[in-house]
Amino acid sequence: MSERKHELLLIAAALFISAVTLLYSVLDSPKYNNLEALTITATVETENTTVVSEKININTADISELMQLEEIGENKAASIIEYRKKNGKFRIPEEITNVSGIGEGILAKNIDRIIV
């Protein structure tokens, strides 16, 4: 085999190995969906009152957590969970208005506290 053909064969092998390595690293990389369980808490102190504003993940919250949202009682919280079981996870916070009994007014009061 000529020296030139040998060089071309080595270059082709190196390119192939590089391509396989790159493909493996892309396919094996984490998907970064670990943020679903993230809870963010902010504390604001006024003169005599401390207000705690915790973000609620409507895809993972249980009834008691959902009831921390304004105008969400036990029945509406149960409806959110039932909707989630039937339709899968919420993709955006605004989808909560698809749940029976939850309209734009309730969404507006809670939009800063809802995450998905």
pLDDT per position as a tens digit, 90-106 = 999 999 999 999 999 99
CA 55 to the chain's CA centroid: 13
> What is the pLDDT, as a whole number, of residue 46?
59
> What is the pLDDT, as a whole number, of residue 113?
93
User: 39-94: per-residue pLDDT in tens?
Assistant: 556 666 655 544 456 899 999 999 999 999 999 999 999 999 999 999 999 999 99
Helix (H) or strand (E) holding 104: helix 104-110
| Token duo for residue 51 | 């207000």
Q: Look up the CATH number of domain 38-115.
A: 1.10.150.280
Q: What is the pTM of this model?
A: 0.56
Separation in Å, CA 25 to CA 16, 18, 96: 14, 11, 37
Helix (H) or strand (E) holding 20: helix 3-27
E strand intervals along 1-116: 41-45, 50-54, 56-57, 114-115
> What is the pLDDT, as a whole number, of residue 23?
76
Separation in Å, CA 23 to CA 19, 20, 59, 62, 69: 6, 5, 32, 40, 45
- Please list the residues that pair with 54 across neighbouring strands: 41
> What is the pLDDT, as a whole number, of residue 50?
43
